[in-house]
Amino acid sequence: MMKAHQQRGRTHTSLPSLITLVAIVSPLASAVPSLTDDSKCECYLTNGTQASFFATHEFLDFRNLAEHAGIPPTITKPNDSGSAPVTSEYFTSKEWTEAFWVLSWNNSHQIREDATVLMVNSPNNVYIEANSDRNPSSQTWLTLRTQRLKDFQTASEIESVAPGFQYLSVRMLARTVGSPGAITALFTYRDADRLADVQESDLEVRTMDPRNTIQYTNQPSYTEEGEEIDHATKNVTLPPGHPDWTHWAVHRLDWTPKETVWYVDGTEVATISFQTPRDPSKVILNAWSDGGEWSGNMSVNDAAYLQIQWLEIVYNATDENPAKRKRNDSGVAAVMPRERDEDGEGGCDVVCSIDETPEPGKPVMLWNNGAMRMVGGGLVAWIPSLVTFGMLALISGGLW
C-alpha cells in the first residue's frame, strides 16, 4: 500500500525537478543567513528595540597585530607626553589613519572646575599589546592607558576621523582593568560653545565604582550651575550572570533618532530618550582622570586600561553616502533600476546584518530583493505556493 503511494508521488514530482525547485527557492527564502562581505551589502539592519537600517559598515580588528605589539614605558614628563610619537607603525597604517586620530590635548587651558591634576593625553598611551590572558582569545588587543604620575595624569584619547556620523550602532569587544580613580569611555560627541548645546551619548566605566555598574548618559547631565540633570543619565547594575567590566564583553551603543540604547553581550541594559543627540557627531574612546569628583583620584603610579579586541560600527554619515557609491560600483543599480524608498529601506536591495553573524566583522546577508527581481518579479508572489507545492511533493514522496 505505502509503496504504491510512494510510486505515485514520484511520478508526479520527479527528483530532478524537486532539486531544481529547492535550488531556486532556498537561497531566496533561506532561514539561516549566509556569510558575505561588505562589497555585496547595500545596507545593514540591526536588531534590538531601535532596529534600524544603516548604509555603511566598518570593522577594526586588533586581534592579530603581533608584529606591532609592545608596551611603551610611560613617559614621565608632561611636555614629552603630549608631543610623543605614535607607538607603532599600525597607527600610521591606512587602516588606522582612515578611521582614527590619536589625540594629544591637555587640560591646562580648559580645566574642569573640580579637576585637581594636570591631565595630558599622550599618543604614547595608545598601543597594541600582546594578549597575556591565561586562555588568550586573541593574539593582541588595543590598549588605551591612563596613569597617575607624580606631577600629572597621563591619559589617552582616540577620535574618529569622520566628523559626521548621524546615527550609528557601535560595538566593541572590550574590558577595563586597573585601579580606582579613572574613567574609560566610548561615546558620540558633538562639541559646542555652551555646555547646554553639547550633544553626546556616553558609555562610561568609573573604576572606583563596583565592577558590575556602568554609567550611560545623554549629555549634558549637569548644568553650568553644577545642578545634576537626573534623567540624562543611568547608573546601571549589569544583570546577574553578566560579565562585569573587567571581563571581555561586547559593549554596544545604538544612537538612533528616537533614543540611545545600550547593550552588553546582546542584552539591553539601558535606554535614554531624553536629549538624544540630533546632529552629526564624532566617535571617541578614552581613558582618563583629572582628580575631580567624577573620575576620582588615582594614587601615584596607579593605572587603568581600556583594552579592545575589535571595534565595529554600522552607520549613516552626512558627508557622503557610501551606499550610493557602492551601489554604483557594483553596477547593481544599472541592472535593476528601482524607485528609492519604496519600502522604507532607503532604496536598499541587499540587506545585511552584523548581529546574526557567527564571525565578528563579517556580515551575513539577510535578504536580497534584487535577486528576487532578477529571477522575475512574478516569482516572489509564487514562492509561498512553490514552497507548499514542494513540501507536499516531499511529503507525498517520502510518506506515501
Ligand X SMILES: *[C@@H]1O[C@H](CO)[C@@H](O)[C@H](O)[C@H]1NC(C)=O
Contact residues toward ligand X (CB under 6 A) are 47-48, 52-55, 78-79, 82, 106, 108, 116, 120, 167, 206, 209-210, 213, 215, 235, 237, 256-257, 263, 266, 268, 291, 293, 296-297, 316, 328, 346, 355-356
Cell numbers 569587544 correspond to 173
Q: How far apart are CA 119 and CA 152, in angstroms?
A: 6
For residue 326, the minimal CB distance to ligand X (Å) is: 11
Q: Which is nearer to ligand X, 106 or 188 (by Cβ)?
A: 106
Angstrom distances, CA of residue 157 to CA of 78, 83, 195, 212, 258 = 16, 14, 20, 24, 28
For residue 143, the minimal CB distance to ligand X (Å) is: 21
Q: How far apart are CA 201 and CA 233, in angstroms?
A: 10
Q: Helices 377-399 and 15-29 sit at what angle, rounded to 10 degrees?
A: 130
Q: Which is nearer to ligand X, 70 or 210 (by Cβ)?
A: 210
For residue 162, the minimal CB distance to ligand X (Å) is: 15
For residue 79, the minimal CB distance to ligand X (Å) is: 4
For residue 281, the minimal CB distance to ligand X (Å) is: 13
For residue 206, the minimal CB distance to ligand X (Å) is: 6
Closest CA to 42 of 321, 267, 294: 321
Q: Which is nearer to ligand X, 82 or 390 (by Cβ)?
A: 82
101: CB partners within 8 A, 6+ apart: 158, 159, 160, 161
For residue 39, the minimal CB distance to ligand X (Å) is: 14
> How many helices (DSSP H) and strands (DSSP E) are in the chain?
8, 21
Q: Which is nearer to ligand X, 95 or 151 (by Cβ)?
A: 151
Q: Which is nearer to ligand X, 14 or 328 (by Cβ)?
A: 328
For residue 288, the minimal CB distance to ligand X (Å) is: 14
Q: How far apart are CA 196 and CA 194, in angstroms?
A: 5
Stretch (H or E) spanning 42: none
Q: How far apart are CA 215 and CA 205, in angstroms?
A: 6
Q: Which is nearer to ligand X, 263 or 367 (by Cβ)?
A: 263
Cell numbers 545604538 correspond to 254
User: What DSSP letter does each residue of 89-114 carry, written as one string?
Assistant: GGGGSHHHHTTEEEP--BTTSS--TT
Q: Which is nearer to ligand X, 120 or 311 (by Cβ)?
A: 120
Instruction: Give the CB-nearest residue to ligand X.
Output: 346
Q: Which is nearer to ligand X, 342 or 378 (by Cβ)?
A: 342
